[in-house]
Chains A and B, each alone.
Chain A
């Protein structure tokens, strides 16, 4: 009952974006994918979510995703894209309900409101989606995704949250809130894969980290194993030092020190 990607290769025309990446994500854990811009993180997530053609194999809870119907996949995993646009003036609550329409059994009709409350936007239910700020819109989309797989375990199988940069446009308080939602989902038995840019949040919330660079997986392991000077410097192409305090006169704010 895991999400296993094996030897994933993807090319866009003649440009190769992924050259054989393997990844195993386990339920109960938050698996983070980090790496520089263009390293193939979104592409890997695209393969895992069956949204682009790829070579290799992806199995979700023991089944090959290539053999699953869209609605079977939708019942087991929800996907937050890196950027979302909406074509018509739906209200916030209507957007969240779109996720529910996948008709996954047993979801009660108040799930959309509860999902909105979970991201702290219950009082925004009647706002027009297009009129939200970037961060608000991102949280509404997260609520939609949560509504789709509201219970982390269904029919004895884990369900999955696949998130592409879920905190990219959020303030620090909401970054912590959203990562906490992801971790609670995992602790309740679901699985989470999140593409991340913030290495501090990754260190705080991820159970496993995959480091991608130039379409390959440079390292995979716990944050302690993977977030090292050597690996990060190689991945990002600049000299990085882990847990080194900055010069004394420049303030620094780490999420580690935040309390609710």
Chain B
């Protein structure tokens, strides 16, 4: 029998690497913020403005508007949405024990979208007292409820005795997405002119309509959901061994699953409510991080939030500059960049689905 003294080398420490990555990604995020504030349709640039401030000059009215009312809220929204999508992807993959689970792919995004559209078209029918209470949170909260319902349903359909069938999950996701899309279509027909304007304003797979109002309406729910997800690291690690074993190593599985489902629904719902469906962030980001520093959820979730924010902020920069002065919907940019990566993942890891 091998004695401890026979072990020459200490095992590789992926956890410290992942922890170091927190700082690397935080630095990269800072750079992404600077780039995002620097470029845009007008030739106002952050560096020029900072130089002006350094020389004690005041900013012009136009510069202030561009910086504070256009680029900053857009940066904030890109950051929130990117972090929300990536974290909900990572949490959902942990929950379903499958690297292909992603709120966008399995219909949770569509369910959240349906919730948002319901709120816009039929929200006026709610009792006035309730509208007063929820106020500008109505659309994100409705999207959260839509996402929550879809996640619960999906989990019910595809998980038996603590193990998830990938095929069932993906097929159920297709059905769920189609149903939610169809219902959304019906609602759009029912909408009047003002509601149609609101609908376009809310969801286009784009950050173009970014405003402080949207940041304030989606920010709290996203923050809360990401915060909740970040506490799930140990539980999701245990869940990788299956529900029964997770319980055996001391995890309150039911509670952990409920929190994970709420967090996924909250983050996806709020992100969809302000930006429509933006694809591939939720699946590509956690996957790249698993390749870089292993699947430990105690670090994966925070790193996903950071890398998701970075990628979405940068994708938004690309969306703004490639066909300037017009701009691309950001969903197109993430699809063009993300879909090939996703296909590459599938190609390299053909075993991913059969398992």
Give the B-binding residues of A (Cβ under 8 A): 46, 49-51, 69-71, 73-75, 78-79, 81, 84-91, 93-95, 98-99, 101-103, 110, 113-114, 117-118, 120-123, 125-126, 130, 148, 177
- Asked if B245 is an interface residue, CB under 8 A from chain A, the answer is yes
- Asked if B11 is an interface residue, CB under 8 A from chain A, the answer is yes
Q: Which residues of B contact A118 (CB under 8 A)?
A: 1
How many whole Å from B47's CB to the nearest CB in chain A? 42
**A113/B7 contact (C-beta < 8 A), A81-B242, A87-B98 known:** yes
Which of B14, B98, B245 sits near A81, CB closer than 8 Å?
B245
Shortest Cβ distance from A181 into B: residue: B1
Q: Which residues of A contact B239 (CB under 8 A)?
A: 87
- Asked if B2 is an interface residue, CB under 8 A from chain A, the answer is yes
**A114/B97 contact (C-beta < 8 A), A91-B11, A148-B249 known:** no
Q: Which residues of B contact A94 (CB under 8 A)?
A: 14, 294, 296
Q: CA A15 – CA B53 in complex, angstroms?
A: 78
Shortest Cβ distance from B243 into A: residue: A51
Q: Which residues of A contact B249 (CB under 8 A)?
A: 74, 78, 98-99, 101-102, 148
Shortest Cβ distance from A96 into B: residue: B11
Over the window 32-66 of chain B, the binary record of Cβ atoms lying under 8 Å from chain A Cβ atoms (1 yes, 0 no) is 00000000000000000000000000000000000
Q: CA A89 – CA B249 in complex, angstroms?
A: 19
- Asked if B124 is an interface residue, CB under 8 A from chain A, the answer is no
Other A-B pairs, 8, CB within 8 Å; known A98-B238, A99-B249: A70-B250, A71-B251, A88-B97, A88-B99, A90-B240, A91-B12, A94-B14, A117-B6
B1 and A120 contacting across the interface, CB-CB below 8 Å: yes
A-B contact pairs, 7 of them (CB 8 A): A49-B244, A71-B252, A78-B248, A81-B244, A94-B14, A113-B11, A117-B3
Give the A-binding residues of B (Cβ under 8 A): 1-4, 6-7, 11-12, 14, 94, 97-99, 163, 234, 237-242, 244-245, 247-253, 290, 294-296, 355
How many whole Å from B206's CB to the nearest CB in chain A? 33
Q: In the A-B complex, list the 3 residue pairs whose CB atoms are closest, starting with the nearest.
A: A74-B250, A88-B295, A87-B97
A91 and B4 contacting across the interface, CB-CB below 8 Å: no
Q: Which residues of B contact A51 (CB under 8 A)?
A: 244, 247-248
Q: CA A113 – CA B296 in complex, angstroms?
A: 18
Q: Which residues of B contact A50 (CB under 8 A)?
A: 247
**A91/B14 contact (C-beta < 8 A), A98-B237, A98-B241, A117-B6 known:** yes
Q: CA A71 – CA B251 in complex, angstroms?
A: 6
B253 and A70 contacting across the interface, CB-CB below 8 Å: yes
Shortest Cβ distance from B249 into A: residue: A102
Most chain B beta carbons < 10 A, residue from A87, A110, A113: A87
Q: CA A78 – CA B234 in complex, angstroms?
A: 17
A125 and B99 contacting across the interface, CB-CB below 8 Å: no
Shortest Cβ distance from A83 into B: residue: B242
Q: Which residues of A contact B12 (CB under 8 A)?
A: 91, 125-126
A73 and B242 contacting across the interface, CB-CB below 8 Å: no
**A88/B290 contact (C-beta < 8 A), A94-B14, A114-B4 known:** yes
Q: CA A113 – CA B5 in complex, angstroms?
A: 11
Q: CA A71 – CA B238 in complex, angstroms?
A: 12
Q: CA A84 – CA B234 in complex, angstroms?
A: 18
Q: Which residues of B contact A122 (CB under 8 A)?
A: 2, 4, 6-7
B234 and A70 contacting across the interface, CB-CB below 8 Å: no
Q: CA A50 – CA B11 in complex, angstroms?
A: 34
B241 and A73 contacting across the interface, CB-CB below 8 Å: no
Q: CA A91 – CA B168 in complex, angstroms?
A: 28
Which of A75, A78, A103, A125 sits near B11, CB closer than 8 Å?
A125
Shortest Cβ distance from A50 into B: residue: B247
B240 and A87 contacting across the interface, CB-CB below 8 Å: yes
**A89/B4 contact (C-beta < 8 A), A70-B251, A103-B250, A113-B11 known:** no
How many whole Å from B57's CB to the nearest CB in chain A? 54
How many whole Å from A85's CB to the nearest CB in chain B? 6
Q: CA A193 – CA B163 in complex, angstroms?
A: 26
Most chain B beta carbons < 10 A, residue from A70, A114, A118, A125: A70
B3 and A91 contacting across the interface, CB-CB below 8 Å: no
B247 and A117 contacting across the interface, CB-CB below 8 Å: no
Q: Which residues of B contact A103 (CB under 8 A)?
A: 250
Q: Which residues of B contact A89 (CB under 8 A)?
A: 290, 294-295
Most chain B beta carbons < 10 A, residue from A49, A90, A103: A90
Q: CA A71 – CA B235 in complex, angstroms?
A: 12
Which of A84, A88, A120 sits near B245, CB closer than 8 Å?
A84
Q: CA A94 – CA B17 in complex, angstroms?
A: 14
How many whole Å from A26's CB to the nearest CB in chain B? 22
